[in-house]
Chain A
Amino acid sequence: MRAQTSLPAVGIAFLLLTGTLVVGVLSAEAALRGADRQALDRRAAVGLSETLVRAEAPVTERQNVLNESALANLTATDLRNRYGLPQEASVRITLDGRTLVTDGPPKNGITFERTVLLERSRLRTLEPSFEGTRSVTIPRRTTSLNLTLRPPVNTTMRTVRVNGRVRLHNASGLNGTYEVPVTTVETARLRFEAVGPLSDGSVVIRYEPVRTEKGRLAVTVDG
């Protein structure tokens, strides 16, 4: 075996070669994993968020303005059937960090965020006390006022004016509930013209001012 001294050298050389090969394969693997951009998940997330804020979507008032109560009723089934989410994908939709819909839940996936406007309307009631004045200014602009007129028995309320224009008139006296459309272009100032005293509770004004706030809608899709 004197002449076989080259065999250990060959063995060591192969060991080194194998090591290089393993390192090469591992780095190729890492490069491939790093190149995974989840293009289709991204597309699904972008597409879903676009469909959600589209003007004709059921959860929007107009383009990019979401109706908060409609958004709260959104379910994962709706997303699949109406908003084009793939059947097998898991999804999470959050609004300002609050989870609205989650299904799956997605383990990694792609998150797409967009700034949206949220529209909320809340019913407000105003009861003027009529101390020294018979005018009322509505603090927030709205499209419609609901007036309930219950003047005291010895008072005849004849006219209600909005910004000087007569909107309700009855010479024999107004009594009951009336819907008065107003404009959002100017602040509504109501004036009640009555013969006799008016007091607390004679007039109740209900209105629903609309408030829009900015929000962050985040859509995560993991296909």
Chain B
Amino acid sequence: MDNRAVAPVVGKLLAAAIAVLYIAGTTSLLLGGVVPDYRTAAGEELSERTLAEAAAIVERAATGSGSTTVARVRTELPPTIRDGSYRLVLRNGTLVLDHHDADLDARTNLSVPSTVQTVESTWKSGDTLVVRAAEGKTNRTVELVDRS
């Protein structure tokens, strides 16, 4: 009967061990699966909205008043999406959001008049987005201005 006093200690230790296991399990479940998924889902939504906003700005610059020779339209876009920087690529009438996480990539077709020509250009996040539209001899050109 020497080990009778051990019983409460064992009980406490058992409870503590179960608590530690439980917390470790839920933490790894949340941080390993649920939270990254949610961050990606939120990031996807944010990248879609960012791209939609950027495309709206490009279209505004493209269809802007014909009297101005050179127009610059600027807007603030999120510097990072899901803690990562991204690029906007304007190419051949489409605007592409390029993120190092391929799940967050998005693309959209621009609705610009046929007289507007898109100049292949890239903008990197972290700066103000500036879209430059210039009136040429025959058509209007739009491009993203990269100031870095």
Residue positions of A touching B, CB distance < 8 A: 1-4, 6-7, 10, 14, 17-18, 21, 25, 28-29, 32, 35-40, 42-44, 46-48, 50-51, 54, 56, 83-86
A94 to chain B, nearest CB (A): 19
Judging by beta carbons under 8 Å apart, are A14 and B18 in contact? Answer: yes
Per DSSP, chain A at the interface is: helix
Interface size bracket, B side: 20 to 34
Per DSSP, chain B at the interface is: helix
Judging by beta carbons under 8 Å apart, are A39 and B49 in contact? Answer: yes
Known: A25-B34, A48-B111. Is A43-B56 also a contact (CB below 8 A)? Answer: yes
Judging by beta carbons under 8 Å apart, are A32 and B41 in contact? Answer: yes
Instruction: Give complex CA distance A21, B110 in Å.
Output: 43
Judging by beta carbons under 8 Å apart, are B59 and A47 in contact? Answer: yes
0 or 1 for each of B40-65: is its CB under 8 Å from A? (1 = yes): 01100100110110011001000000
Contacts A37-B49, A40-B52, A83-B111 known; list 12 others, CB within 8 Å.
Answer: A6-B12, A7-B11, A7-B15, A10-B18, A36-B45, A38-B48, A43-B55, A43-B108, A47-B59, A56-B115, A84-B110, A85-B109
- By a CB distance below 8 angstroms, the chain B residues around A43 are 52, 55-56, 108
Q: Indicate the member of B45, B107, B108 with the most A CB atoms within 10 Å.
A: B108
In the complex, which residue of chain A has the Cβ closest to the Cβ of B55? A43
Q: How many CB-defined contacts (below 8 Å) exist between A and B?
A: 80
Judging by beta carbons under 8 Å apart, are A4 and B14 in contact? Answer: yes
Instruction: Give complex CA distance A21, B56 in Å.
Output: 40
Point out the residue from B41, B45, B106, B110 that lies within 8 Å of A37, measured CB to CB: B45
- By a CB distance below 8 angstroms, the chain A residues around B69 are none
- By a CB distance below 8 angstroms, the chain A residues around B55 are 43, 47
0 or 1 for each of B78-107: is its CB under 8 Å from A? (1 = yes): 000000000000000100000000000011
Judging by beta carbons under 8 Å apart, are A51 and B19 in contact? Answer: no
